[in-house]
Amino acid sequence: MDRAHLTNGKARAIIANSGNANACAPRGEENAKAECAAVAKVLGIPTEDVLVSSTGVIGQTLPVKVIEDAVPELVKGLAHSAEASDAAAHAIMTTDTVKKEVAVETCVGGKTVRMGGIAKGSGMIHPNMGTMLCFLTTDCAISSEMIKAALLDTVGVSFNRISVDGDTSTNDTCCVLANGLAGNETITHKNAAYGEFLEALRTLAITLAKEMAADGEGAKHLITCTVNGAADEKTAETVCKSVISSTLTKAAIFGADANWGRVLCAMGYSGAKFDPEKVDVLFASATGSIEVCHQGRGLEFDEDLAKKILTEHDIEINIQMGEGGAVCTCWGCDITYDYIKINGDYRT
């Protein structure tokens, strides 16, 4: 429905609910239309200017009347922007343990521009997005065509570079709205101002993406994997995604086990072409760093130090491929016993 409402490149409001995905559900589209109509009526705007998002259990009937009845009170809350943003960030959470809310300020075309964003995402997260909602707003003056281009340029290096559990979803949304009140000259093509806007948007999105990866269901560690020296960016990304998606690598990080063989294994089945005898692997964290593999061969290393490094919350897996100058960074998390507990009875 959002795609149909965005054919003119414009939207003015978003209505979102959590706990019920409204996907594969009785009267799903009908209920989504009813939500949009309820918001449009109270705000006095066209129904086509309202976007709708849902997240939660698949296949259950959405109690749309509850949402319709609440719309007037929700609209009143818009007058208190700071408190309303915090409330919305909390309201869209499902299995998230912390809210995800970020704001940045930058200079675009000589004018101060602000951006803010809220997001939810904890499970069923995998490249090409997953069970995530992300709503970004800015006061930058930018055309519909350019803001769409900026969002597509951003999603590819942020939300499409995280993985929690290898599962994607029926429900995901990432959208950005701009009201143009910053007073900058409207961005209508890819000029220097567009570059400034894009840099800020990417910073915002990458921060939210990392927060989602860190808050993976049951996770104890944020994993940042960086591939250096790849032949090209596509190869670097393919390898990087494979490593952060590897269940065995995730399990090794959970156990603070410097089992670098899991990393090479994930690289090998990624489908990317590379020479394994050029590969170096290094683990790092706030405690320090340790090289565990050099040119495809294992090294003698201090196991106690390696364990201390991997006990930290933020873990880095750094890979040097020795085949070029391309770089890619992706983010994931470990897999724990709690992940099974959360998903074993998610519906009931």
300 alpha-carbon distance from chain centroid: 37
> What pTM does this model have?
0.95
45-58 confidence digits (pLDDT tens): 999 999 999 999 99
Query: In the prediction, which pLDDT does 311 show?
Result: 98
Q: Check residue 194 and give left, alpha or beta (phi > 0: left; psi -120 to 50: alpha).
A: alpha
**DSSP-derived 3-state class of residue 189:** coil
CA dihedral 286, 292, 294, 295 (to 10 degrees): -110
Q: What is residue 319's predicted lDDT score, i.e. its pLDDT?
A: 98
Domains and CATH numbers, the chain: 2-214 (3.60.70.12), 222-344 (3.10.20.340)
Residues of the chain with pLDDT under 70: none
User: Which residues form the catalytic set?
Assistant: 131
pLDDT for the residue numbered 21 = 95
Three-class SS of residue 314? strand
Q: What pLDDT is recorded for position 217?
A: 96
